[in-house]
Amino acid sequence: MSNTDFKTEYFTMKEEDVIQYVKTELSFFKEDAKLECKEIGDGNLNYVFLVKDEVHGDSIIIKQAGPVARISDEFKLSPDRNRIESEILKIHDELAEGFVPKVYHYDPIMNCTAMEDLSDHTIMRDALMNKESFPLFADHITTFMVNTLLLSSDVVMEHKKKKDLVKSFVNPELCEISEDLVFTEPFFDCVRNDVFAGTRDFVEKEIWSDDALKLETAKLKFDFMANAQSLIHGDLHTGSVFIKPDSTKVIDPEFAFYGPAGYDVGNVIANLIFAYVNGVVTMDEGSEKSEYVGFLEKTITDVIDLFNNKFKVAWDTYVTEQTAKYPGFMDHYLASILKDTAGIAGCELIRRTVGLAHVKDLTSIESAEKRTRAEKVCLAVGKAFILERENLHSGENYMEILNQKMNEI
């Protein structure tokens, strides 16, 4: 591999290529380093390599964007998403320092980014599957969301600068995936949907045959496409969070663009609910279950309530736009975000249950009976969130619906 040319033409790298790339294109490791590389990506889109020096213990992540999605070669993607991700991580680090990995290098030819290795953290979805608790998560993630969403909006930024950022992060290919997989395909009998046999009758009756629900999802879809409110992460679920007890790191913002702020908040809520429902249906009764489910119930509630409270404080601190300071405008603005939050949480709950991209919280449930119950709960909760989104203002509102559906199904 000594003659490999990384400066003229893109190709999809393998582990041995990555070692050569790091040696020739970066100055991260010491001269006497003995490098080992392993491809560790398990996501739907990209290739992720961990490169480690066996001599000194230094390590780095190389993330490369391929021309098609790993989940399906039907999705032809612009490798520009890697540029978007590297720039977004830098912006997020400025707005919410300490909550994202450090970016060391971006290569527009090889479409790859070198970034901080977070091997001392765990992917949050995996940790929740192991029934681990993280009491600081709600505080961490709400600080991240308030800072990144409010401080990138027109109420704070100089308007021309904000419009320049909108142009930089249009991200049409990734937005199209969201438009299809989140808002469109789950709500009819689409060939790409993947519906569990035990759930199908429920889906056909409660989701695909409900015209009132479909109308509301159409409204949410067009708001997603047209409302350039904040620089959103665009895929903020528990698989996009590295975590340990005292640290939360948000990763994988390749879906980022200027969209409705509630999209990020709703995704967080929905994926916490997946973990909650998994815990309720799979764990044996006892103190361990009570503590874990209690942690998730508190976290779901706190994410909404802390976001509310921190947003109001940040508004008073950072808002520069004169008309945004008019009495009553903040309440109007925040209410619209909370409405979107509930609607998006509902769409995420439904699409991850019946659509193309599932979550392990549901698919790992071995008992067909328990999985069917879990999926029906997620679908029923998601539907209620969408239809009742005007009235969901607090964490308590969310838990009332969740507990009601758990008791009914």
pLDDT in tens, 327-381: 999 999 999 999 999 999 999 999 999 999 999 999 999 999 999 999 999 999 9
**Lowest mean pLDDT segment, chosen from 68-82, 274-288, 357-371:** 68-82
Q: Considering the domain boundaries, does residue 360 fall inside one?
A: yes
In the chain, the percentage of residues whose pLDDT exceeds 70 is 96
Q: Considering the domain boundaries, does residue 2 fall inside one?
A: no
Q: What does the pLDDT read at residue 319?
A: 98
CA distances from 374 to 164, 368, 406 (A): 44, 10, 9
| Cβ pair 247, 121 in contact under 8 A | yes
Residues 162 and 53 in one domain: no
| Cβ pair 406, 280 in contact under 8 A | yes
Residues 60 and 132 in one domain: no
Residues 106 and 132 in one domain: no
Q: What does the pLDDT read at residue 70?
A: 52
Domain span at 79: 15-115
Whole-angstrom distance, CA of residue 188 vs CA of residue 214? 9
- CATH number for position 56: 3.30.200.20
Average pLDDT over residues 58-83: 76
Q: Considering the domain boundaries, does residue 6 fall inside one?
A: no
Q: What does the pLDDT read at residue 46?
A: 83
Collapsing DSSP to helix, strand or coil, 295 comes out as: helix
Q: Considering the domain boundaries, does residue 4 fall inside one?
A: no
| Cβ pair 79, 108 in contact under 8 A | no
Q: What does the pLDDT read at residue 75?
A: 62
Give the residue among 140, 123, 114, 131 at the shortest CA–CA distance from 58.
Answer: 114
Q: Considering the domain boundaries, does residue 262 fall inside one?
A: yes
Residues 404 and 294 in one domain: yes
| Per-residue pLDDT band at 2 (split at 50, 70, 90) | very low
Judging by DSSP bridges, how do beta strands 112-115 and 241-244 pair with one another?
Answer: unpaired
Residue 387 scores a pLDDT above 80: yes
| Per-residue pLDDT band at 292 (split at 50, 70, 90) | very high
Residues 62 and 130 in one domain: no
| Per-residue pLDDT band at 1 (split at 50, 70, 90) | very low
Q: What does the pLDDT read at residue 283?
A: 98
| Per-residue pLDDT band at 168 (split at 50, 70, 90) | very high
Residue 272 scores a pLDDT above 90: yes
- Over residues 140-159, the pLDDT tens digits come to 999 999 999 999 999 999 99
Q: What does the pLDDT read at residue 25?
A: 95
- The label of the residue with tokens 């393998």 reads 14
- CATH number for position 133: 3.90.1200.10
Whole-angstrom distance, CA of residue 283 vs CA of residue 131? 9
Residues 237 and 322 in one domain: yes
Q: Which two tokens stand for residue 199?
A: 């759930």
Whole-angstrom distance, CA of residue 57 vs CA of residue 287? 40
Question: What is the number of domains present in the chain?
Answer: 2
- Over residues 194-231, the pLDDT tens digits come to 999 999 999 999 999 999 999 999 999 999 999 999 99
Residues 91 and 140 in one domain: no
| Cβ pair 1, 100 in contact under 8 A | no
| Per-residue pLDDT band at 129 (split at 50, 70, 90) | very high
| Per-residue pLDDT band at 82 (split at 50, 70, 90) | confident
- What amino acid occupies position 315? W
| Cβ pair 171, 256 in contact under 8 A | yes
Across 85-98, b (16+ Cβ under 10 Å) vs e yields bbbbbebbeebbee
Q: Which residues lie below 8 Å from residue 22, measured CB to CB, with a gap of 6+? A: 28, 29, 35, 37, 51, 60, 62, 114
- What amino acid occupies position 26? L
Residues 360 and 311 in one domain: yes
Q: Which of 115, 146, 173 is the last residue of a domain?
A: 115
Residues 200 and 324 in one domain: yes
Q: What does the pLDDT read at residue 68?
A: 66
Average pLDDT over residues 3-17: 87
Residue 57 scores a pLDDT above 80: yes
Q: Considering the domain boundaries, does residue 142 fall inside one?
A: yes
Whole-angstrom distance, CA of residue 237 vs CA of residue 112? 23
Compute the mean pLDDT over every residue in the chain, rounded to the nearest whole number: 95
Neighbours of 54 (CB within 10 A): 10
Judging by DSSP bridges, how do beta strands 103-107 and 112-115 pair with one another?
Answer: antiparallel
Residues 134 and 79 in one domain: no
Q: Which of 86, 115, 144 is the last residue of a domain?
A: 115
Give the residue among 266, 271, 279, 261 at the shortest CA–CA distance from 237.
Answer: 271
**Lowest mean pLDDT segment, chosen from 75-89, 293-307, 344-358:** 75-89
Q: What does the pLDDT read at residue 45?
A: 72
- Over residues 252-270, the pLDDT tens digits come to 998 999 999 999 999 999 9
Residues 299 and 361 in one domain: yes
Q: Considering the domain boundaries, does residue 232 fall inside one?
A: yes
| Cβ pair 291, 378 in contact under 8 A | no
Residues 258 and 386 in one domain: yes
Q: Which of 115, 147, 176 is the last residue of a domain?
A: 115
| Per-residue pLDDT band at 81 (split at 50, 70, 90) | confident
